[in-house]
Each structure stands twice: as C-alpha cells, then as structure tokens.
Amino acid sequence: MARKVLVLGEVRDGSLRNVSFEAIGAAKLAAEGGEIVGVLVGEGVNALGAELIEYGADRVVTVEDEKLKQYTSDGFSQALLAVVESENPEGIFMGHTALGKDLAPRIASKLNSGLVSDVTSIEEAGGNLVFTRPIYSGKAFEKKIVTDGLVFATIRPNNIEPLAKDESRSGEVSSLTIEIKDLRAIIKDVVRKASEGVDLSEAKVIVAGGRGVKSEEGFEPLQELAKVLGGAVGASRGACDADYCDYSLQIGQTGKVVTPDLYIACGISGAIQHLAGMSNSKIIVAINKDPEANIFKVADYGIVGDLFEVVPMLTEEFKKLKVNA
C-alpha cells in the first residue's frame, strides 16, 4: 500500500545529522512507492530543504520561528503536529536520538497512535511491514507489525543505509506558518561539554577506553588512533567514574548506544552494562591484557596484550596503509 510518510530532519549546529538521511531510507521502504515529505523545524532551516530532497525526499515542508531556534518538546511538538494536520500522512519517521526519544512519544500520544522505537531494520512480509528492534539491552530482538493506523517509528543511527545522494533531484520546499505559543520552557543558551570531531552516536569507527587506560593521559593514544581512522573516542562507565574522561563519551546502558562499523575496545573488561551499548557493532576488536576478559566473548577479533603497546602499533600500521593507499 502506497503511503505518504513524513520524515523529520534533525539539525545540529546548522547542518543535517546523518540519521535524517537514514530515516528517509527507512521511510522509502515503508512508503512502498508513496510520497516522502521531509520536515524541518527550527530557525533558518529553509536552506537545508534541498539536501533532504537530494537524499530522497520528494518535497519538504519547513516551520521556522525564532522560538524554535533551540529544541523544546513544547515548541517542536506544536510545529510537527501542525504539519501532520496539514499533510495527513500515513507514516512518520525520525531518528532514535535524544531529540527523537523525547519528541516521538509526545507526538504519538497526541495522535493516539502506536510507536515502534529504536528500529534497526524494516522488511516486507506477507503484505505487512515488519520492524525489528532490540530488547533487554540488546540481548534479544523483537519483530513488530503495524496492522492498522499510522506507521510511526524512530530509527537507530547507523543501521539503515541512506539512499545515494542525487544532486539532480528537485522538489518543492514550502513553508508552513504557525503561532508557537504557551511554551513552558525557553532555552536561552546551550553550553556543551563534549568532545570535538566526529559525533559519537553516528561515528562509523569508535575507539573506546575503559579502566585499563589508567588515567586521562591514557586516552591520548586512543585519540590518535581514532583520528587516523576518522573515528570518535568513547569510554566505559568505569573510565568516566574514574574521571579519566567526560561522561559525554560514555557508552553503555546508562550512556550512548552505538552501532559503528568498527568498534575497538581498549582496556575494557566487558561488563554487561557496557555491552548493552555496543554489542551490535558490525565488527568488534578487543584489546586487553586479561585473556579471560568478558569483552572477548563478543569480539570478532581479540588481541591479548598491553593497550599502550598495541594501540600505537596499530596507529602506525594504519598510517602506513593511508600513505600507500
């Protein structure tokens, strides 16, 4: 059944996050030949509409207001609900990010709709769309089928491939004007304490450190390796608790959930809480002095050795590969 599907494009620091394009790819599967309508909410977002179209949206609707400069659930829900009322879609897709996890349940409640969250794959079976999502901290997966009503889902980053960018595509970018009112909270300024470089939640390569890095300086070899690989640096809860790094780098059940193409775990024992945040990575490489460390049970490749010897060796070898490439 052909469906009109809305896809919320998520903007950070004036640019679209990659999960926005992945959500379009997911929506394309769900639309089954129907129309994909991109939605942009914020201030000064109109110029980004063309990029959503290049990645597969048929047209884009923007809602701009100075009150939407920073995300608030009140403001963004008013804007998105206005677009839903105007477009009357059969589906809504967005990223399973901090924004999506806050906004999607609110919108679903207002629309009296179901919601399939944290989707990692979509397939068609027997005329129905089947959504796969992890449960029990990633130890199992369940399949959901939407049999009636709105198809509403949030997409886990780095799991569904975006469509190839096509700069020749064209489509209408229109604006919807609404009054944003009765905001219970207004964000005046945002002070971020986060690492520079690649966004951890969307990184294709992550080099993560645990208590085995021993100190804040112990992360320096990991940062160098991540830089060579074009990746991001992450950490276990233990490393964060020991003040080796900031909690913005934490990966695990109480931190970020990541699914990179390559995850290199350095000095991480493999506590179940940490595995919940990274065990679905496509390739896992573990470096640990303890051959009995739990991390080796989920690793595709294991290196038993001192990370302060192994990581610099890996860095030098990858540098040689880049030079000879």
- Give 71's Cβ-side CA count (13 Å radius): 16
Rounded to an integer, the average pLDDT of 227-241 is 95
pLDDT-derived band at 2 (thresholds 50, 70, 90) equals confident
Same fold, 5-175 and 200-324: yes
pLDDT above 70 (res 29): yes
Residue among 122, 134, 151, 109 nearest 1 (CA): 151
How does DSSP classify residue 36?
E
What is the per-residue pLDDT for 223?
96
Query: What CATH class has 5-175?
Result: alpha beta
Residue among 314, 285, 221, 283 nearest 322 (CA): 314
**Gap between the Cα atoms of 115 and 198, Å rounded:** 30
- Give 309's Cβ-side CA count (13 Å radius): 6
Rounded to an integer, the average pLDDT of 54-61 is 97
Q: Which residue ranges make up the annotated binding site?
A: 211, 236-237, 250-254, 267-274, 288
Of 32-41, 100-109, 190-199, 203-212, give the lowest mean pLDDT range: 190-199
Helices 220-229 and 307-324: angle between axes, nearest 10 degrees? 20
Pure H helices in the chain: 18-31, 49-54, 73-87, 98-111, 220-229, 237-241, 272-278, 307-324
Domain definitions of the chain by residue range: 5-175, 200-324
What is the per-residue pLDDT for 197?
66
Q: Which residue ranges make up the annotated binding site for FAD?
A: 211, 236-237, 250-254, 267-274, 288
Q: Which residue type occupies 119?
A: V
Tens of pLDDT, residue by residue over 175-227, are 999 999 988 888 877 776 655 667 888 899 999 999 999 999 999 999 999 99
Fold of 200-324: Rossmann fold (3.40.50)
What is the per-residue pLDDT for 127?
79
Tens of pLDDT, residue by residue over 122-177, are 998 887 899 999 988 788 999 999 888 899 999 999 999 999 999 999 999 999 99
E strands, 31-177, in order:
36-42, 59-64, 91-95, 116-119, 121-125, 128-135, 140-145, 151-155, 173-175
What is the per-residue pLDDT for 195?
55
- The average confidence (pLDDT) of the chain is 93
Centre a 10 Å sphere on the Cβ of residue 112 and count the other Cβ atoms it contains.
8
Dihedral, CA of residue 237, residue 239, residue 244 and residue 245, to nearest 10? -40
What is the per-residue pLDDT for 325?
62
pLDDT above 90 (res 281): yes
What is the per-residue pLDDT for 193?
63
